[in-house]
Amino acid sequence: MSQNGVGVDLDKSLGYLLKEASSALRAAMEEVLRPLGMS
């Protein structure tokens, strides 16, 4: 059963990291595109 707990924690951690990366990428894109009027 401990493997299931680790798997769930890993999934949550992976999802969180993906969300953080997505937010960082979006912020960087906005920063570059905004002066060009493309955001």
Domain count, the chain: 1
Q: What is the pLDDT of residues 14-24, one digit of tens each?
A: 889 999 999 99
Q: Is there a contact between 30 and 39 (Cβ–Cβ < 8 Å)?
A: yes
CA dihedral angle for residue 34, residue 27, residue 25, residue 7, rounded to 10 degrees = -160
Contact 39, 33 (CB under 8 A): yes
- Rg, C-alpha atoms of the chain: 16
Q: Are 22 and 14 in contact (CB under 8 A)?
A: no
Amino acid at 25: L
The pLDDT confidence band at residue 1, using thresholds 50, 70 and 90, is very low
By residue range, what is the domain housing residue 25?
2-36
Position 10 pLDDT exceeds 80: no
pLDDT band, residue 32 (cuts 50/70/90): very high
